[in-house]
Structure 1
Amino acid sequence: MLVSRRHFLQAGSTAAAVGLVGAPYVARAQQAQFTYKYANNLPETHPMNIRAKEAAAAIKTETGGRFDLQIFPSSQLGSDTDTLSQLRSGGVEFFTLSGLILATLVPAASINGIGFAFPDYATVWKAMDGDLGAYVRKQIAKANLYAMDAIWDNGFRQTTTSTKPINGPDDFRGFKIRVPPSPLLTSMFKALGAGPTSINFNEVYSSLQTKVVEGQENPIALVEVAKLYEVQKYCSLTNHMWDGFWFLANRRAWERLPEDVRTIVAKNINAAGLKEREDTEKLNATVQKELTAKGLVFNTPDPAPFRDKLRQTDFYTQWKGKYGDEAWSHLEKYAGKLA
């Protein structure tokens, strides 16, 4: 997700705490006993990198310079798929990755993206800081990766359209919508009666402009930076999917660290993740105000009818079968009965 420097510097307390961020930040080793690389796919001005920079400084101080965390934002070390391979081999020690992409290695990692499972952030954090998150971390461990306790926020996905607001599930019937190449998203929109089409993001603007599709779905910050408001009229806050970033470590590299260093690193990274959550939620509110000023019309539909519509199809039962009863029971503990 490429988001403008201007908007991420408006992330409330984040900007005030850090000020301007210039070139990509790299902590400089000073006789460090351990120098580890941390890669991510977001700009240096995103709250993720601002909070990670703060954590790196705190870790260096608290370990007396023994641990040096080098930060590589903006996919500098390769695509998500490439960097995941580097993480598994040990070429990169830390990486933050969406559960939707991690699911190619750990299928359970995408379960938080089940359609209309979470109505709000409060429910998300109860689940991901509770039994559901613990279950996913155990599955991640089976892939020889270590996941920090606190998952970082990517945000809820919303629906934009050029023809009409989405007020209820019937508005999706026959609706031509662009989706990323995600089996979960494609399955959900088909179940709602829409016609999902996978299109590369660099072609989304032109596809909307030429009416190849009527709408698309993404976190609203991306709607602004990609100027999709120029070719879309409505933004329906459907909150149809929430996604987060797992802060992952190569297990061998993680276990090489002395216990006291691991404790300091984990404490600061998890604390930074909690701050990033707050920053991202504030950022979304800021971007919504700006998009409203640019003419995008917002509405907030009731999620209940969408869930009811999906229950009338095999969507939930299909994905319950793929994730398994144990994973699904953890999900429903927080989301309520789905299948």
Structure 2
Amino acid sequence: MSIITRTWRVAALGFALATVAGGALAADYTLSVNTALAQQDPLYKGLEEFKKNVEVRSGGKMAVRLFPGSQLGKDEDVLEQARAGAGVAVVVDGGRLAVFVKEFGVLGGPYLAQGYDGIRKVVTSPMFDQWSDKLRKASGHQVLSFNWWQGERHLLTNKPVKGPEDLAGIRMRTPGAPVWMETIRAMGATPTPMGWSEVYTGLQQKVIDGVEAQHPASFGARLYEVTNRVTKTGHINLITGLVTSAAWFDKLPPEQQTILKEEALKAGDSASRATQASLADFEKQMKEKGVTIEEIDVTPFRKATAPVYEKLGYAELHKDVEKLLQN
């Protein structure tokens, strides 16, 4: 992207944010947070908590504006705006950050850790802090916290799935990051990158045959209307982070920087625990909508996806993460 194009995009975004934010202009600093999540998602509730606590604790000097449903654009576009120094942040997975620092990609690896407590141990470790420092230098992004757990991802289809052989020929929507693509390919399906906002119509129009997602997102997107079966593979433990511009962050007074990081960590924990507590209810509601929730033996999928780490050059890092999880 040329400097002129990037400058134009930042200027255009700045005008849009100023127009939408309105009252935020009274604050000394404004952070606009973009997320693909719907407002009923437990993680979005966490973002609301983050907003409230930052604004109260900063005494009104800091304003946070939330934009659900990717109102500010795709994650990649907002990450680009952050690189250019805009006061924006995005809830994003490690796969999308791996284009800048490869280590982040391992977070989306198959069967990496169990549940929130497992993956949290990784993203609050000194090892992860080193990745975050590399990210600042490589791309100009600042991680506020990376403990926003969205749940384990499962398969949504209109046919029964017991093992990898049942996914042959199935066009499965997944994000376009290499580790996600290779995981779905290893599971037996044909990975098909597609924006989340396009998934419902993609299934409806049979552009894709299935999707892999966590319960809060699939229910929020009403995918129970276009699929009738959830197979609980739990193949990816989806952990995401709140990532902003390092250049913008560095201009803040130290006390405001501390507030943002501490409140992001607190709200991430709160949102993740709420996600944990919500999963059974989401399953109950999906069953009431006519969806079959199927528990299966995931061993064949574990075996099929094990080579993904070596294929993508994560074999040694995977071992390091496993050691961390065992301590």
TM-score by length of 2: 0.79
- The answer as to whether partners of 2:38 and 2:220 remain within 8 angstroms in 1 is no
Once residues 29 and 189 of structure 1 are traced to their aligned partners in structure 2, the CA distance between those partners, rounded to angstroms, is 42
1:52 aligns with 2:47: yes
Which of 60, 66, 72 in structure 1 is aligned with 2:61? 66
1:258 aligns with 2:258: no
- The answer as to whether partners of 2:309 and 2:318 remain within 8 angstroms in 1 is no
1:39 aligns with 2:33: yes
Q: CA RMSD in A?
A: 3.0
1:234 aligns with 2:207: no
Q: Which string of whole-angstrom CA distances, capped at 9 and with x for unpartnered residues, describes residues 23-73 of structure 1?
A: xx95945854x3122221233443344333333333333333333333333
Structure in which a larger fraction of residues adopt helix: 2
Which ranges of structure 2 fall in alignment gaps of 5 or more residues?
Answer: 1-19
Aligned counterpart, 2:310: 317
CA separation of 1:230/1:29 partners in 2, compared to 1, >3 Å: closer, same or farther? closer
Q: Which string of whole-angstrom CA distances, capped at 9 and with x for unpartnered residues, describes residues 270-311 of structure 1?
A: 111111111222333221111111221112223333222334
Once residues 246 and 177 of structure 1 are traced to their aligned partners in structure 2, the CA distance between those partners, rounded to angstroms, is 28
Q: Secondary structure at the match of 1:43?
A: coil
- The answer as to whether partners of 1:163 and 1:214 remain within 8 angstroms in 2 is no
Question: What is the percentage of aligned positions where both structures have the same residue?
Answer: 25
CA separation of 1:186/1:263 partners in 2, compared to 1, >3 Å: closer, same or farther? closer
Q: Which string of whole-angstrom CA distances, capped at 9 and with x for unpartnered residues, describes residues 215-245 of structure 1?
A: 3212223433444334433211111112232
**Matched residue type, 1:318:** K
1:193 aligns with 2:183: no
Question: Greater CA deviation, 250-259 or 226-235?
Answer: 226-235
CA separation of 1:176/1:334 partners in 2, compared to 1, >3 Å: closer, same or farther? farther
Which of 83, 97, 100 in structure 2 is aligned with 1:102? 97
1:308 aligns with 2:274: no
Aligned counterpart, 2:13: none
Once residues 88 and 228 of structure 1 are traced to their aligned partners in structure 2, the CA distance between those partners, rounded to angstroms, is 33
TM-score by length of 1: 0.77
CA separation of 1:324/1:64 partners in 2, compared to 1, >3 Å: closer, same or farther? same
**Matched residue type, 2:140:** N
Question: Greater CA deviation, 253-262 or 65-74?
Answer: 65-74
Once residues 261 and 197 of structure 2 are traced to their aligned partners in structure 1, the CA distance between those partners, rounded to angstroms, is 36
Which of 82, 96, 115 in structure 1 is aligned with 2:110? 115
Count of residue pairs the alignment pairs up: 304
1:285 aligns with 2:275: no
CA separation of 1:59/1:186 partners in 2, compared to 1, >3 Å: closer, same or farther? closer
Aligned counterpart, 1:157: 153
**Matched residue type, 1:47:** P
CA separation of 1:54/1:330 partners in 2, compared to 1, >3 Å: closer, same or farther? same
